[in-house]
Amino acid sequence: MPNILLTRIDNRLIHGQVGMTWVNHIGANLILVADDVVANDNIQQSLMDMAAPNTVDTRYFSIQETIGNIHFAADDQLILLVVKTPQSALRLVEGGVPIDKINIGNMHFSEGKKQITSTVSIDEDDAKAFRRLHELGVELEIRRVPDERAKDIMEFI
């Protein structure tokens, strides 16, 4: 079983909060970004690598590659798994990735989205994905940083 310490939804993927704060808080030694676009974009990968500590490895897989490879993770890999959207997280869970809790960090406001907290905005497709994850038994918390009090996203949907 892979050692997934934290799964986080953050549309910025790897940045300062993820690269330093969360990695240090949970003791991760690998940040795995599961995203179909970034998996094939070396420039975005290079930029994100700059935000990751030198002590942490990074991997960039498509959603399907993550599903296919996660169970081959070494026992000493302590994984922070990051996705952009709840739809990606749902695809991972439905694909057999053992995720029992998801931290929701940032989902930026855009046209058609409703702001539910200062850092999370969702539309009906997002709400549908969160409802399905909840049905599958996944705990869903909104929390930007480790010392912030977690909020159950289902209270806002």
Q: What is the pLDDT of residue 60?
A: 98
pTM of the entire predicted model: 0.96
Q: Would you call 15 a catalytic residue per the annotation?
A: yes
| Residue 63 one-letter amino acid | I
User: What is the per-residue pLDDT for 18?
Assistant: 74
Segment 27-61, tens digit of pLDDT: 999 999 999 999 999 999 999 999 999 999 999 99
Residue 102, Cβ neighbours under 10 Å: how many? 26
Residue whose structure tokens are 């910025």: 12
CATH code for position 58: 3.40.35.10
Q: Which of 15, 25, 71, 134 is catalytic?
A: 15
Q: What Cα–Cα distance (Å) separates residue 46 from each residue in 43, 56, 69, 70, 118? A: 5, 14, 22, 22, 29
Q: Domain count of the chain?
A: 1
Residue 17 has pLDDT above 80, yes or no: no
State which residues form the domain around 76: 3-155
> pLDDT band at residue 19, thresholds of 50, 70 and 90?
confident
Q: What confidence score (pLDDT) does residue 16 get? A: 80
pLDDT tens track for 102-119: 999 999 999 999 999 999
DSSP three-state, residue 56: coil
